[in-house]
């Protein structure tokens, strides 16, 4: 009996994740320019190295505070087989909110704001899981930096079980300025880190609060810790002395919810 020929499962040039993202992919100089001009949110732009015809588009990206990277042309060839002209952009699947607007809306509605600030959380699945817990707990917004943070992709939205379609996300140029804005608006800043000896139960979350969570690699930036009104930790009594960032976020968020209820 003749054996059937076995084909490799991953013989396609593009990964499954890339297939999922194609709906948000914009390529070609004019197409990217028009997308920027339309006011649509752009998650990130990739420019091929060594192409002088992209200088104006790079300057436009800087002016609009759109994150971009200079990469080998092979990376762009791996994103699309079509003529990309040295530039590929990913349109964001969500519309970002303005932090000032979120804070103002909370106070106008006599609502006690609870904001979650993420310092360089880079894994899209962690971001999605955090958003899921935050939305379920009634957090008013998530704040992320433009650079050095996970992009909001379809994978992040899937991991969030759709929560990223509902909870406002504020993408800011610098977290330092965002933290200043929160403090000036009357919110206390509470950092959650395993380096603190103060358990989160001893901090009062019943007033307007912003919870700061650090990156998977090295936690919260020291400069941001200096700005905080309280630095707390989650009790750890086992042999493992740290938690996944999405789990830690959920625990401290729900401590705030418990106190407010």
Beta bridge partners of 3: none
Instruction: Return the pLDDT at 9.
Output: 37
Q: Do residues 105 and 205 both lie within one domain?
A: yes
Q: Do residues 82 and 112 both lie within one domain?
A: no
Residue 1 lies in a domain: no
Instruction: Count CA atoms within 13 Å of residue 184 on its CB side.
Output: 9
Instruction: Return the pLDDT at 2.
Output: 40
Residue 138 lies in a domain: yes
Residue 2 lies in a domain: no
| Nearest of 130, 126, 151 to residue 141 by alpha carbon | 130
Beta bridge partners of 142: 116, 169
Residue 253 lies in a domain: yes
The CA–CA distances, whole Å, from 31 to 28, 37, 85, 143 equal: 5, 10, 10, 29
Q: For 214-251, give the secondary structure using H, E and C.
A: CECCCECCHHHHHHCCEEEECCCCCCCCCCCHHHHHHH
In contact, 28 and 84? CB cutoff 8 Å: yes
Q: Do residues 238 and 110 both lie within one domain?
A: yes
Q: Of 91, 119, 147, at which residue does a domain stop?
A: 91
* Beta-carbon contacts of residue 239 (< 8 Å; ≥ 6 apart): none
Residue 152 lies in a domain: yes
Q: Do residues 81 and 106 both lie within one domain?
A: no
Q: Do residues 128 and 241 both lie within one domain?
A: yes
Query: Which structural domain, as residue segments, surrounds residue 47?
Result: 16-91
Residue 186 tokens, joined: 């009357």
Angle at 259 between CA 255 and CA 261, to 5 degrees: 115
- In the chain, how many domains are there? 2
Instruction: List helix spans (H) across 138-209.
Output: 154-159, 175-184
Q: Do residues 40 and 169 both lie within one domain?
A: no
Instruction: Return the pLDDT at 14.
Output: 42
Q: Of 25, 59, 91, at which residue does a domain stop?
A: 91
Instruction: Return the pLDDT at 1.
Output: 38
The CA–CA distances, whole Å, from 132 to 149, 164, 255 equal: 17, 7, 16
Q: Of 91, 114, 145, at which residue does a domain stop?
A: 91
Instruction: List helix spans (H) across 47-174.
Output: 55-63, 73-79, 99-108, 124-137, 154-159
Q: Do residues 47 and 154 both lie within one domain?
A: no
Residue 114 lies in a domain: yes
Instruction: Count CA atoms within 13 Å of residue 246 on its CB side.
Output: 16
Give me the CATH number covering residue 255: 3.40.1280.10
pTM, two decimals, is: 0.85
Q: Which residue has 């880190």 as its token pair?
A: 193
pLDDT along the chain (261 residues), means of 10: 37 42 79 91 94 94 93 94 94 93 97 97 96 98 94 90 96 96 98 94 97 94 97 92 94 98 89
Q: Do residues 121 and 201 both lie within one domain?
A: yes
Instruction: Return the pLDDT at 40.
Output: 86
Give me the CATH number covering residue 60: 3.30.1330.30
């Amino acid at each position: 009996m003749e054996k059937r020929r076995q084909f490799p499962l991953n013989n396609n040039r593009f990964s499954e994740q890339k297939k999922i993202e194609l709906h948000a992919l914009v390529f070609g100089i004019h197409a990217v320019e028009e997308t920027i001009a339309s006011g649509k949110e752009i998650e990130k732009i990739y420019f091929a190295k060594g192409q002088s015809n992209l200088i104006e588009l790079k300057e436009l990206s800087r002016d609009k505070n759109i994150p971009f990277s200079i990469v080998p042309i092979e990376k762009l060839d791996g994103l699309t087989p079509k003529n990309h002209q040295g530039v590929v952009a990913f349109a964001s699947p969500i519309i970002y909110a303005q932090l000032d607007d979120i804070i103002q809306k909370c106070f106008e509605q006599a609502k006690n704001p609870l904001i979650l600030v993420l310092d360089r959380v880079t894994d899209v699945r962690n971001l999605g899981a955090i958003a899921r817990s935050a939305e379920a707990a009634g957090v008013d917004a998530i704040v992320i930096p433009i650079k050095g943070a996970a992009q909001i992709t379809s994978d992040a939205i899937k991991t969030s079980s759709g929560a990223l379609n509902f909870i406002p996300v504020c993408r800011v140029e610098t977290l330092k300025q965002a933290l200043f804005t929160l403090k000036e608006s009357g919110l206390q800043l509470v950092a959650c880190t395993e380096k603190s000896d103060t358990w989160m139960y001893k901090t009062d979350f019943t007033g307007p609060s912003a919870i700061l969570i650090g990156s998977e690699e090295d936690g919260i930036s020291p400069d941001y810790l200096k700005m905080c009104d309280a630095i707390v930790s989650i009790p750890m009594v086992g042999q493992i002395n740290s938690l996944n960032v999405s789990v830690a976020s959920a625990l401290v968020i729900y401590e705030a919810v418990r106190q407010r209820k």
